[in-house]
Amino acid sequence: MSARLSPTTQRQIAQRQNTRRANATLQPHKRVLIDIEDGIATVTLNRPSKYNSLDMPMFDAITKAAKALKKDRSVRAIILRGAGDTFCSGLDIKGVSRNPLNFLKLLFKPGCKISNLAQDVGYLWRDGPPR
């Protein structure tokens, strides 16, 4: 059984998607875009020319976004998406390997942490927004 959306709802959804695409186009230098509307945060990986692959700035931006949203009490839900046609193609090996120290940064677990930076991009979403 599938639910049918009214034409008005379909238009509203299309307008929101167009706005998000426009935001991604207007802010190409930002790796991660955050849009919060009605308590729902939409986090967009914004590197469509590289299929949203994970380079060091993307790892850092995703981590910062997850930590910031985790603290935001107005956020009830988080939608994670990719700009363009692809969600995320995975590690940008060419970009990360430009500096051999990047692999150490990705795999290092500081202090008592249970995850490293490479794992954090997935692990930090586990708890989600505060309740």
Q: Is residue 67 part of a domain?
A: yes
Cα separation, 61 vs 121, in Å, equals 9
Q: Is residue 17 part of a domain?
A: no
- Cβ atoms of 74 and 36 within 8 Å: the answer is yes
The boundaries of the domain holding residue 64 are 28-123
Is the full-model pTM beyond 0.85?
no
CATH number of the domain bearing residue 90 = 3.90.226.10
pLDDT tens track for 74-97: 999 999 999 999 999 999 999 999
Is residue 23 domain-resident? Answer: no
Residue 2: inside a domain: no
Q: What is the DSSP letter of 31?
A: S
* Res. 101: pLDDT tops 70: yes
- Which secondary structure element, helix H or strand E, spans residue 109, and what is its range? none
Quote the Cα angle for 109-62-45, to 5°: 145
- Number of compact structural domains in the chain: 1
pLDDT in tens, 1-44: 456 777 777 676 666 665 555 444 445 469 999 999 999 999 99
